[in-house]
Amino acid sequence: MPNQQSRSARLEARISPDALSMVKRAAEIQGRSVSDFVVAAAQEAAQRTIEETAIIRLSMEDQRALMEAILNPPEPNEALRKAADAYKRLVIESR
C-alpha cells in the first residue's frame, strides 16, 4: 500500500489523450487511481534518478588510471604546493 502521508502540495501536468489513456489502463491494471499511479510512478522515477547520480561509472581504463593515481600519486606540482600554502594561511593559521 502506498505511503499515505498528508498531502499538502499539488502537481498538475498536461498530457496527450493517448498518454492519458495509457496511464489510465496501467492504473486499472494495478488497481489504483490514476492519481495514485502517477504519484507512485513519479516517486519511483525520482528515486531511480537520485540513485543513479550517486554511482560513478568508469570504464576499465579509467578505473585503472584512478587506482594507479591512488596507489602511486604523483609528486605535488607548483600549483598544488601554492594551493596547500594558501589553505594553511586561510584556514589553519586563522584558527
Mean pLDDT of 75-85: 95
pLDDT digits (tens, 9 = 90+) for 37-47: 999 999 999 99
Question: Is the four-CA dihedral 59, 61, 66, 71 of positive or negative sign?
Answer: positive
Mean pLDDT of 45-56: 92
Copy the grid coordinates of residue 8: 499538502
pLDDT band for 1, please (50, 70, 90 cuts).
very low
Phi first, then psi: what are they for 89, rounded to 5°? -65, -45
Q: Residue 76 in 3-state DSSP?
A: coil
Q: Which among 25, 23, 33, 24 has a CA at the least distance from the CA of 1?
A: 33
pTM of the prediction?
A: 0.56
pLDDT digits (tens, 9 = 90+) for 12-37: 999 999 999 999 999 999 999 999 99
**Residue 74 CB: number of other CB atoms within 10 A?**
8
Helical pair 17-30 and 34-54, crossing angle rounded to 10 deg: 90
Per-residue pLDDT at 95 exceeds 80: no
Q: Which helix (H) or strand (E) holds 22?
A: helix 17-30
How does DSSP assign 66-83, residue by residue?
HHHHHHSPPPP-HHHHHH
